[in-house]
Structure 1
């Protein structure tokens, strides 16, 4: 009999990234990607895209080296939060409660088996636009900004993992993520896994860390929904000396139209030019990409990804750890 699915996690709520060049990082997200600054406090700045409904989806914090501070998942209710906390405490990966942060109430902090910092929350602050930013399109929380090529919403996060399978199983068993696609190598090991709690192909992805690191960050992604915007933002990146790592191109996994760049602080950012595909089937059977099929799984349109794409993550490490 199939295991009953868990529906306690509703969505990816926000991500915190570290930057050794915070003002340059903020310039990238605000002036080039058109994101809105909500608040500043201490060494952190809180940002959101114009179709993000919450107080923020991105927190940029000054630090000595780039990487992910944490990511936050919103539960489907207060009782759902309490159920997941109970399971996380029993798993041994729970860290405890915090009173909250700007934009949200109490949150329970935990880590993955690989050491990625995460938190669960329910109470959130919704963004309220000032009068000069009211949108006549009532399904939008604010007007479309006139800076750069504005991104519309947070899409997903990709994490590097020393052991993809262990971390995948943790996310599925403790939090209810559903496996949508994965890469299985000829030796039976998993090289990547794409998971979601919604019809999206993924809100979280895991890639094997080829340098042997633990708990590192690969990229975060914001969504456009318009393929032309990837060409538009590419023009802006070139004119402003932002390194385009790869794309525009199409992944076989997720079918997404992508562009990868490195923001000035050193973190990788992906931009989606379309929606890929959505999953509504409650009995979805995960798609398995075999090693010999990866030429189409990784890229089926556009130039191949450079070797650094599979090696570089933040914080950076120079060699494999034993």
Structure 2
């Protein structure tokens, strides 16, 4: 299938991925996991929501936990360049028949919420309250010392159309997995706005669902330390995959599940992609190094389970990719 061309003058300027809003069924259990086990910092909380961030982030929050009856992904958030970009985004959505609305969100400036053509619920903002930098507050470090939100990965039923849509918004392809042969279809794509491997990965599967969100950590040793922490604090069964090194992105990784099953990746050591002529890297779906550079395949849950978007019907994928799954 066609690889999208880079677009350097998109209809509005998305700077980077910013935050995720998760619906959780037990707010206290989720806060305990993200604050004391993973190591995110709680900035604000009330009876209905908890706001957390990484130690490198100046913004008020990058994770919002919302008390709800059913676990789901409520929104994925992106930061845009300025207030005018919000108006440009609204005009683009209107011209393309995409449902949108301006809304007020706690600790954020004017926020534009939309549901893209494939059911993914996003929100855009230009300004958020700032908080003091915690990077050098080593006395506050817990868990794996998460620094900043790095990316989202979504399950898309119409993977090629979804890739093409986000390419129109200026997301640039860095790596992709494709079937072999002259009519091979793209089964997964990694796309960025901020000059690393990805802000948004799009994976073929039942969708719309959130596959995972990821936090950058300083070193591989932080990820190994989190394994020790989880194994000794009652979360051993929440370790789903890894630790290991991806072929795609080159990153060292660990996938864990929170008390509601939302998937979080801890991630480090990918590479720079900011040059305008950076060419995407193709991977065969049959290359065992694609999933893990060392050749170990992912478990079945990694291909089949994800967080639904609140209120969105889940559709079967247009095709089923032939991938290697661990026994």
TM-score, normalised by the number of residues in structure 1: 0.88
Who is 2:40 aligned against?
A: 35
Q: 1:107-155: per-residue Cα shift (whole Å, max 9, x none)?
A: 11112222110011112111137xxxxx6xxxx4855524333211111
Q: How does 1:171-320 map to 2 (within 5 A)?
A: 171-173=166-168, 175-186=169-180, 187-209=183-205, 213-242=206-235, 243-272=238-267, 274-293=268-287, 295-301=288-294, 303-315=296-308
Tell me by how many angstroms 1:103 deviates: 1.7
Tell me by how many angstroms 1:240 deviates: 2.1
2:106 maps to 1:111: no
* Stretch of structure 1 that moved more, 15-24 or 192-201: 15-24
Tell me by how many angstroms 1:168 deviates: 1.2
Residues in 2 aligned to 1:158 and 1:25: alpha-carbon distance in whole angstroms: 21
Picking from 91, 96, 105, the partner of 2:101 is 96
2:144 maps to 1:149: yes
Q: 1:221-264: per-residue Cα shift (whole Å, max 9, x none)?
A: 11112111111110011112322111110111111100011111
- Secondary structure at the aligned position of 1:26 is classed as helix
Question: RMSD across aligned C-alpha pairs, in angstroms?
Answer: 2.3
Tell me by how many angstroms 1:36 deviates: 1.3
- Secondary structure at the aligned position of 2:230 is classed as helix
Residues in 2 aligned to 1:107 and 1:315: alpha-carbon distance in whole angstroms: 22
Tell me by how many angstroms 1:106 deviates: 1.0
TM-score, normalised by the number of residues in structure 2: 0.86
Would you say how many aligned residue pairs link Structure 1 and Structure 2?
A: 305
Who is 2:320 aligned against?
A: none
Structure 1 residues 321 and 171: CA distance shift in structure 2, 3 A: closer
Q: Which runs of 5+ in 1 are unaligned?
A: 130-134
Q: Which runs of 5+ in 2 are unaligned?
A: 318-327
Structure 1 residues 320 and 282: CA distance shift in structure 2, 3 A: closer
Tell me by how many angstroms 1:9 deviates: 0.9
Residues in 1 aligned to 2:78 and 2:8: alpha-carbon distance in whole angstroms: 21
